[in-house]
Structure 1
Amino acid sequence: MSNRDRILQTARRLAITTGSVPSLDVVAQEAGVSKGGLMHHFRSRAALLDGIAGQTIDEMDEALLAAAERGDVVETWLRLSLSRDEADLYRALLVSFTDTGSATETLLARAAEASQRWENLLAAETGDSTTAAIIRLLGDGMVMNTVTGEALPSLESVLEWLEPRKANR
């Protein structure tokens, strides 16, 4: 594993366990690299945030593209939406987005582009862009409920509810 990957993995783990993205000093120490080694890859905390978010977007892209090949994008999207680790990571990233600088704007634009890609994969599977948008929003809501700790229906009950809607397309 490269130093960059180890740094991102460490920062992500710390963000999930602590609820916020830690300082560069803490990440460097926990990753077993010097601060200079960390800063070679991430010149600022904002760059580290971008790296974590970018890695998360890339992983979601990979998971949904693999799901598209299997024909289960909807189930994969909803299953990922119920992930406690992902919700904890999103909470940590949200806490860290306290400024509205250009790095945050760029990252939000990147997330919006990724969201559109994922919705397109959902549309390809369901055959309907409105159904795809609703499923994407359902997943987004499930993530938010997981972040806030609200009760969620089981994945099985959601998939059961969706089944007749998929059959009507």
Structure 2
Amino acid sequence: MSNREHILQTARRFAIETGSVPSMDAIAHQAGVSKGGLMHHFKSRAALVEGIAVQAIQDMDQELTAAAGRGNVIETWLRLSSSREEAALYRAMLILLTDRPSMTDTLMQQAAAATERWEQLFAIETGDPTAASVIRLLGDGMLLNSITDDYSAPSVDAILQWLDRRSTR
């Protein structure tokens, strides 16, 4: 694992544990690197958050690609969308991710491209592009519920059963 990847993993874990994106000093200390070493890879806290977001997109790509090979991409999407760990990560990054000027066009383009890739995987599994969009939005809503600690939504299993009944009509 490269120094950059180690820093990102440390920052991600630390953000999940603390509920916020820690200071650059705290991340350098946790990662066991000097602040200069951290700043070599990430010039600012916003750049670090962007790195975490890009890594999260790449991780989701890997998970969904593997799930597509198993034939359960929709189930994987919904389970990840309702994951408390994913919610904790996004909750920690939420303030910085909603500060539009700190987000780069590159990150926005990567997120949009990832959303398109994921919807294509859902469309392949369902055979229906509209259903794929609905499933993506459902996962987005489940993530929002998780971020706000609202776990009153139906379980993933109940949603999958409902989707299965809808697809057999």
Q: Is the 8 A contact 1:20 1:96 kept in 2?
A: no
Task: Give distance in 2, aligned partners of 1:142 and 1:53.
Answer: 18
Task: Give distance in 1, aligned partners of 2:98 and 2:160.
Answer: 36
Mapping for residues 81-96 of structure 1, pairs under 5 Å: 81-96=81-96
**Secondary structure of 2:103's aligned partner:** helix
Q: CA deviation at 1:105?
A: 4.1
Structure 2, gaps ≥5 residues long: none
Task: Give distance in 1, aligned partners of 2:29 and 2:57.
Answer: 26
Mapping for residues 145-160 of structure 1, pairs under 5 Å: 145-150=145-150, 151-160=152-161
Mapping for residues 52-63 of structure 1, pairs under 5 Å: 52-63=52-63
Instruction: Note closer, same or farther for the CA distance 1:124–1:98 as it changes in structure 2 (3 Å cut).
Output: closer
Q: Percent identity?
A: 62
Task: Give distance in 2, aligned partners of 1:131 and 1:99.
Answer: 31
Q: Is the 8 A contact 2:81 2:140 kept in 1?
A: yes
1:23 aligns with 2:14: no
For residue 99 of structure 1, what is the aligned residue in structure 2? 99
What is the total number of aligned residue pairs between the two structures?
Answer: 168
Q: CA deviation at 1:109?
A: 2.9
Task: Give distance in 2, aligned partners of 1:153 and 1:30.
Answer: 37
TM-score, scaled to structure 2: 0.93
Q: Is the 8 A contact 2:123 2:129 kept in 1?
A: yes
Mapping for residues 100-115 of structure 1, pairs under 5 Å: 100-101=100-101, 103-115=103-115
**Secondary structure of 2:22's aligned partner:** coil
Instruction: Note closer, same or farther for the CA distance 1:23–1:102 as it changes in structure 2 (3 Å cut).
Output: closer
Task: Give distance in 1, aligned partners of 2:159 and 2:100.
Answer: 36
For residue 131 of structure 2, what is the aligned residue in structure 1? 131
Task: Give distance in 2, aligned partners of 1:160 and 1:49.
Answer: 36
Tell me the alpha carbon deviations over residues 54-74 of structure 1, each in whole angstroms, 9 at most, x when there is no partner: 110000000001111111111
For residue 166 of structure 1, what is the aligned residue in structure 2? 167
Q: Is the 8 A contact 2:46 2:102 kept in 1?
A: no
Quote the RMSD (CA, aligned, Å): 1.4
Task: Give distance in 2, aligned partners of 1:123 and 1:107.
Answer: 24
Task: Give distance in 1, aligned partners of 2:147 and 2:111.
Answer: 18
TM-score, scaled to structure 1: 0.93
